[in-house]
Amino acid sequence: MDPARHLETGTYIARQPIYNQQLGVHAYELLFRTATSPDSATASDAATSHVMLSAFGEIGLDALVGSRLAAINMTWRLMEELRELAVPAGRMILDLPPSLPCDEDAVQLLRGLSGQGYVLALDDYVPGTSRDALLPVVHQVKIDTASSRPDELRLIFRGLKTTQVEKVAKKVETLEDYEFLRDLGFDYFQGYFLSRPRVFRAVNLPTGKLTVLRLLARLQQPEMDVHELQHLIAQDPGLAFKLLKLINSPFFGLNRQVDSLARAILILGHRKLVTWACMLVLSGLEDRPAGLVHLCLQRAGLCERIARMAGRRPVERYFTAGLFSALDLVMERPLPQVIGPLPLDDEIKRALLEGEGELGEVVACARACETDQVESVVFADLLREDIMNAMLEAGQWADEVQSVSISGTVRR
């Protein structure tokens, strides 16, 4: 889960990705947190009001969710007032709590909201209750899969066969759980399963992925001069093409065409070109879900931002540590197997494998952000809310990087 910007001292907005079956980010659920209870969402009129004010005022919906939908836990009173609020209905999922009335008044209200363009989701759905009366007027049901056995989930699916509702799996903790739920027929997934690598028996990495790892490691070598960098990138024609396509995109706003790697290095600078090259290499791993690559990019960007805020130099080392700390997720192998053969210096290897030093502390802080362990979001003397702001910025940056690999353009 991505902690987002603070609203006032001791209060935060957190966001949790909602993934589709291909593990692309479909939406973000926005939740209100407090410093006294950072690991649990607060469900009340006040909490929902804080989220709404943040999404449509102080922070802005684009900053929080980009082009995705925003899922917000609603209350009956605020749902009645939605008609008076000038919010973009087509961009919102309204999570309907179990306490919502199930009478004719509720049905009429929900039909009106659906007609305005809101997506309606029954949160914590359990079949065989009065809430079944709302199934014809909602679009989604959210099911707590962690508290349900496989046979119970199959029964729930049989009961929903005659409906048109989409099924959202909550509290998905492992990739194995995701695969079972996906095969069962769930449409969307929430949980920490992308942050936790699967255990594999295979010893050797496939040749293609080993080549990617070696390229990433070589790009990180500080002693590499401009000519060596140009030669290394030129060995991968696809990467060279993407870099030239990137630098000629509207994002950089150049007045003349850049038609050579040498000129691209001159304009971007050595470090920036290396950073973009690494991102394009990772984004080009077509066999890995977009959500995993996004998490990898986001962690690297967050570690660099934390280092910069804390005055640690060179920030590139923190970026590298963050980038390689997530490669077990992308490569589907234990981290020691991924990191061991690479030409990284001992300090970075100890940070990644043993959590040593400030590099290890930054990586631990980034991981805490991802899994919503807000009390562990600490580094140096930085304020927690500043780290959370950096997390949101890193997520936006990762979105932009991924858009390059898809379209060759980056949103400003």
Tokens (6 digits) for 307:
């280092």
Residue 332 predicted with pLDDT over 80: no
Q: Distance between CA 103 and CA 254 in Å, rounded?
A: 60
CATH entry, 2-193, from 1.10.287.610, 3.10.129.10, 3.40.640.10, 3.20.20.450: 3.20.20.450
Select the more confidently predicted residue: 34 or 323.
Answer: 323
| C-alpha span between 190 and 404 (Å, rounded) | 26
Q: How far apart are CA 91 and CA 337, in angstroms?
A: 42
pLDDT over threshold 80, residue 44: no
- Of residues 75 and 196, more confidently modeled: 75
Bridge partners (DSSP) of residue 94 are: 72, 120
pLDDT tens sequence across 341-370: 777 788 989 999 999 999 999 999 999 988
The full DSSP string for 345-396 is -HHHHHHHHH--HHHHHHHHHHHHHHTT-GGG---TT--HHHHHHHHHHHHH
Highest mean pLDDT among 22-36, 259-273, 355-369: 355-369
Distance between CA 29 and CA 55 in Å, rounded?
Answer: 11
pLDDT at residue 406, rounded to an integer:
52
pTM of the model: 0.73
| CA–CA distance, 378 with 380 (Å, rounded to integer) | 7
* Backbone dihedral angles phi then psi of residue 195, each to the nearest 5 degrees: -90, -5
Determine the pLDDT at residue 118.
92
pLDDT at 193 (0 to 100) = 84
Q: Are 323 and 302 in contact (CB under 8 A)?
A: no
Query: Which residue ranges does the chain devote to CATH 3.20.20.450?
Result: 2-193
Tell me what pLDDT residue 292 has: 82
Alpha-carbon span 156 to 186, nearest angstrom: 11
* Residue type present at position 345: D
Angle between helix axes 384-407 and 237-247 (nearest 10 degrees) is 110
Cis peptide before 314 (omega within 30 of 0): yes
Q: What is the DSSP letter of 400?
A: H
Q: Of 27-36, 74-83, 91-100, which one has max mean pLDDT?
A: 91-100
Question: Is residue 14 exposed (0-12), middle (13-18) or buried (19+ Cβ within 10 Å)?
Answer: buried
Q: Tell me the C-alpha to C-alpha distance, in Å, between residue 270 and each of 223, 261, 304, 312, 318.
A: 11, 11, 17, 20, 17
CB 339 within 8 A of CB 352: yes
The owner of tokens 């930054």 is 362
Q: What's the pLDDT band for 36 if we cut at 50, 70, 90?
A: very low
Q: Of 326, 280, 338, 277, which is closest to residue 299 (Cα–Cα)?
A: 326
| pLDDT at residue 145 tops 90 | yes
Three-class SS of 44-67: CHHHHHHHHHHHHHHCCHHHHHCC
